Amino acid sequence: MSSRNTWQKDAVKHALGESIGFVSAQQLHLVLRNHGSTIGLTTVYRALADLAKQGEADSLQSNEGELLYRACGTDHHHHLICRKCGATVEIEAHRVEEWAAQVAAEHGFGQVSHTIDIFGTCSNCSTEKGN
Ligand SMILES: [Zn+2]
Ligand SMILES: [Zn+2]
Ligand SMILES: [Zn+2]
């Protein structure tokens, strides 16, 4: 709740928004440092985890097991989310868009919106033993 944590999170969020593609906490930490920030790596890790939890960032686990982050796009999109590791993939779903618009129109609804996320087990997790 302290404002100290808030500005740090804002700084991380801002840096993430300016990054292209997925970046690791370490990469982002370096960017912030290069911009004169004194933010610590642990804080960057924590801020990224928070952003991901709040749906403001998408996360992905690299083959090396490192978590990579990207600012959740402002363009409308959907997510595939791994139940086990939390990896999130942004997906477009054109047929869903058509279907949603059609159903809304049939019922005379305007200004509609929707949120659709698909949960499952990612390929990393499902190749593990058992399951
Ligand atoms: Zn997203
Ligand atoms: Zn997974
Ligand atoms: Zn949609």
Interval between CA 100 and ligand 3 midpoint (Å)? 8
Closest listed ligand to the CA of 90: 1
Distance 33 CA to ligand 2 centre (A): 31
Quick: pLDDT tens for 48-99.
Answer: 999 988 888 988 877 788 889 989 877 888 988 888 887 888 888 889 999 9
Instruction: Delimit the CATH 3.30.1490.190 region(s) of the chain.
Output: 76-124
End-to-end CA gap in the chain: 40
For residue 131, name the pLDDT band (cuts at 50, 70, 90).
very low
- What CATH number is given for 76-124 in this structure? 3.30.1490.190
Which has the higher per-residue pLDDT, 109 or 90?
A: 109
Does domain 1-74 correspond to CATH entry 1.10.10.10? yes
Q: Distance between CA 124 and CA 7 in Å, rounded?
A: 34
Query: What is the layout of strands, in order, in the sheet containing 117-120?
Result: 88-91, 78-82, 117-120
Q: Which residue has the higher pLDDT, 102 or 7?
A: 102
Neighbours of ion ligand 1 (CB under 5 A): 58, 72, 90
- pTM of the model as a whole: 0.67
117 CA to centre of ligand 2 in angstroms: 15
Q: Which ligand is nearest to the CA of 123?
A: 2
- Range(s) for CATH 1.10.10.10 in the chain? 1-74
